[in-house]
Amino acid sequence: MNRPPEIAFFPEASFGAALNCVGIAQALQRQGANPVFICHAGFTGVFAEYGFKEYHLPDHPGSSAEAIADYWQDFINTHLPHFDLSPLAQLDTYVGPTWRAIVETAIAAEDDLARLLAQIRPDAIVLDNVIMFPAIANAGCPWVRIVSCAETEIPDAAVPPYLSGLAPGEDTGAFDAAYAAATRDVHRQYNAFRKRHGLHALPPGIFLEPSEDLNLLLAPQAVRYERAEPLDPERFVFLEGCVRHENDYELPRFAVEGGPLVYVGFGSLGAVDTDLIKRMLAVFQTIPARFLVNVGGLIEAYDSVPDNVHLASWFPQPSVIEQAALVIHHGGNNTFCEALYHGVPSLVMPYCWDGHDNAQRAEGAGVGRSINRAGWSDASLRAAIVDVLEDASMRRRLAEVARGMQADPGTSRAAKGILDLLD
């Protein structure tokens, strides 16, 4: 090849997937490749901010960035009460409707995505999503799947079902049956869409097949499962997380100085629940620590902020976590892996999707604790925070985890795997 290889990234419209891909793209760029990004509406400028060229899926009537943002905001507001339910109860109320919205989004994007890929003509495509787009399979180049949710995305008899929050060895019968029922109709719709574009049908409940070329799993050694059938290491490469480079973050001055630093972030979905975060702020006020709290675009909803709390709509998260003594989050795999990478314990308060799986894994692997989103009291939240901050054995375990992850950065291993496809 007499030019730098061009690698097209297509992450789903979430910051977790987007920023995982940024980390890999940074490593590819250092190795001489030319990463570019295909953007969903609403993510314009996110990747350009890191210096990468963007290609934008075009807006259509009713599908502008503003319209899509309004659609998802309404969707989240509708389902906010369902975040208090168990993973099993969420299947009908949240998981099924979410899969339908994802399938409809994939169908709507297909033709425009095919045109963009024909324009870019990449040497490889990297997909970080939970659903397959036929345009990627039909683009005529290798494609790479990133598994950036929990490892449970890849089924195995010894691994708990995806989105279940179950531990290894627990009975999965009720969850498996309810998941199949909740996704049956939308799965038929999706398979019909695949057939129209020349792709084979997928088994029930599966919306994204493994790549025949390369699959990258963002599951560090410390939290991996023992599988009944080990994955082929030629096609399935486990990464020690995928932590991007960010500029250093200078801590703000707090009216009350001193005490450990705690970072709190619940992602774009969780930030919508301002009532829950306000309840948490009242508890934070009683703890001798400093709290950085990511409240997304809703900072104006907070008119009273304790002296030991600083709110912002965005933080350079890896740089903040590096300085923290505890991360309180929703179980998103991006945040979970960043905490592990920097040897920081997690207190996971899951509300949906793979957050339930990662909350269970934090507990099971001894790298964090979980707390029920709906069942905590002021006293129990305070006790959980203090207990984790004072858990010296967990901190020693995490220091060992961090050393291993930092010695083998997932971003570098991912970049090598992608470039090896092109040799």
CATH number at residue 164: 3.40.50.2000
Crossing angle for the helix pair 355-365 and 333-341, nearest 10 degrees?
Answer: 30
Domain membership of residue 251 (yes or no) is no
Domain membership of residue 191 (yes or no) is yes
pLDDT for 40 equals 87
> In terms of domains, do 286 and 232 share one?
no
Domain membership of residue 247 (yes or no) is no
> In terms of domains, do 235 and 265 share one?
no
> How many domains, the chain?
2
Nearest-angstrom CA–CA distance, 104 and 98: 10
Nearest-angstrom CA–CA distance, 247 and 205: 40
Nearest to 312 by CA among 327, 299, 326: 299
> In terms of domains, do 339 and 386 share one?
yes
> In terms of domains, do 17 and 140 share one?
yes
Domain membership of residue 415 (yes or no) is yes
Using a cut of 0.85, tell me whether the model's pTM lies above it: yes
> In terms of domains, do 194 and 295 share one?
no
> In terms of domains, do 402 and 416 share one?
no
* C-alpha distance from residue 239 to each of 128, 217, 412 (Å): 14, 6, 9
Domain membership of residue 314 (yes or no) is yes
Domain span including residue 397? 261-406
Domain membership of residue 370 (yes or no) is yes
> In terms of domains, do 198 and 324 share one?
no
Nearest to 353 by CA among 23, 172, 145, 85: 85
> In terms of domains, do 230 and 96 share one?
yes
Q: How far is CA 402 from the centre of its chain?
A: 19
CB 122 within 8 A of CB 102: no
Domain membership of residue 352 (yes or no) is yes
Contacts of 111 by beta carbon, 8 Å cutoff, 6+ apart = 135
> In terms of domains, do 158 and 58 share one?
yes
Domain membership of residue 254 (yes or no) is no
> In terms of domains, do 230 and 360 share one?
no
200-233: string of b/e by CB count within 10 Å (b at 16+)?
Answer: eeeeebbbbebbebbbbbbbbebbebeeeeebee
> In terms of domains, do 180 and 319 share one?
no
CB 268 within 8 A of CB 351: no
Quick: pLDDT tens for 265-289.
Answer: 998 778 889 999 999 999 999 999 9
CB 384 within 8 A of CB 365: no
Q: Each residue's pLDDT tens digit in the chain (423 positions)?
A: 678 999 999 999 888 889 899 999 999 999 999 999 999 878 889 999 999 999 999 876 555 556 655 665 676 778 788 899 999 999 999 999 999 999 999 999 999 999 999 999 999 999 999 999 999 999 999 999 999 889 999 999 999 999 999 999 999 999 999 999 999 999 999 999 999 999 999 999 999 999 999 999 999 999 999 999 999 999 999 999 888 888 889 999 998 888 999 999 998 778 889 999 999 999 999 999 999 999 988 899 999 999 999 999 999 999 999 999 999 999 998 899 999 999 999 999 999 999 999 999 999 999 999 999 988 999 999 999 999 999 999 999 999 999 999 999 999 999 999 999 998
> In terms of domains, do 101 and 230 share one?
yes
